[in-house]
Amino acid sequence: MTTSSRTLGEWFDSFEREAFRLETLDNYNIPRSEGSFASFLAGKEQPESFKNSEWVTTVRDATRAGKRMYRVHILSRPLTDYLRYELAWGYHRNMAVGEEFFILDTTERENPIPEAPDFWLFDDSVTARMNYDATGAYLGADFPGKESLPEFQQYRDRALAEAVPFPEWWAKHGTE
């Protein structure tokens, strides 16, 4: 069900206050990240294309304009190779330009919101539910109607209440 006249990309250009993301997968199969992921696994330096990606520009432009971009990732240890890459390279890179990260670690407890899907919530008014196949390949976003907003706001609020700031989590678990 799509109830937005804008695409996901257009929402990143037009949100006014904040963009929140809930991540729930252990692996995201992103073709444009294959080269940097391979470099990470091989112990190489970050490619310039990774350091200066379009996403970095999107985040930098938004945060410089006073907008908040933040996310919670629900995960458990031991981390998959992909999560090690995403956290070590991606999160640190994005934090440098203003994105905030939180971790809801379910290693030693139940997931408090197991039914929550991956999604973006823009300005507390539009939800983009992210759809993936079994391999973590992105299939596109759909935009549930306004009647679904309270459900996604509750997912966000519960995730944030249960999560810890990424730098705190990383200091404790980043080398595991």
pTM of the model: 0.94
Write the secondary structure of the chain as one string of H (helix), E (strand) and C (coil): CECCCCCHHHHHHHCCCEEEEEECCCCCECHHHHHHHHHHHCCCCCCHHHHCCHHHHHHHHHHHCCCEEEEEEEECCCCCHHHHHHHHHHHHHHHCCCCEEEEEECCCCCCCCCCCCCEEEECCCEEEEEEECCCCEEEEEEECCHHHHHHHHHHHHHHHHHCEEHHHHHHHHCCC
Domain span at residue 52 reads: 8-173
Assigned domain for 121 exists: yes
9-55 residue pLDDT tens: 899 999 999 999 999 999 998 877 888 999 999 999 998 888 889 99
CATH no. for residue 17? Answer: 3.30.870.10
Assigned domain for 20 exists: yes
**Total of domains in the chain:** 1
Assigned domain for 2 exists: no
Assigned domain for 79 exists: yes
Assigned domain for 1 exists: no
118-129 residue pLDDT tens: 999 999 999 999
